[in-house]
Copies of this chain bind each other. A is one copy, B any other.
C-alpha cells in the first residue's frame, strides 16, 4: 500500500483538487493513513506523469487557479491491482509506548501527569470519531458492501480509542491518580 493507491482510491469516487484531497483524507482515512500536503501535490504530479490521473484547469479570476484531478482507466486498473496485491503489514509508530519503555527513570509523578493529559486528549479524539459516525449511514453488507466496509473502518477507530482509553485508565489507577 502506498500514497499513490490511496489517492487513486479517493479519485475513484470522483474528481478532486489537491487541496480537497488533503482535507478529505484528514477527515476519513487520515487516522490510519496520513499524508501532508506537499506529499499529496508531488504524488499527484507523478501520477499524472504516469497517466494514472489527469487534470483540467479551472481558471479563477482573483483566486488562484484550481487543478481538478480525475482518475483515468489506467489509474482504475492500477488501483484495483494494487489493492489486491497488498501485504497488509502495518507500519505503526507509537511514541508514547517507546517513551514508557525507556522512560521509567522519569518517575511516577511525571507519568501520572503525562498519562492523565494523554487520556484527556484521547477522549476528545473518541468524541470526534463518534460525531463522524453519526453522520455516516450504517448499512448491512448485502445491501451495500462498500458503505458497510467504510463504516467498519470508522468502527475500528472508535473501538481502538475505547481500548486505548481503558488501558490508560487502568494504568492511572495502578500508579495512583
Using a CB–CB cutoff of 8 Å, the interface residues on chain A facing chain B are 1, 5-6, 9-10, 12, 28-29, 31-34, 79-80, 83-84, 86-108, 110-111, 118, 140-142, 144-150, 152-153, 155-156, 159-160, 163, 167, 171, 174-175
Whether A33 lies near B98 (C-beta < 8 A) is: yes
Number of copies: 2
Is the pair A153, B97 in contact by a Cβ cutoff of 8 Å?
A: yes
Q: Find out whether the CB atom of B163 lies under 8 angstroms from the CB atom of A101.
A: no
CB contact under 8 A between A145 and B107, given known A93-B32, A163-B163: yes
Contacts of A94 in B (CB 8 A): 32-33, 90, 92
- Which of B28, B108, B141, B156 interacts with A174 by CB under 8 Å? B141
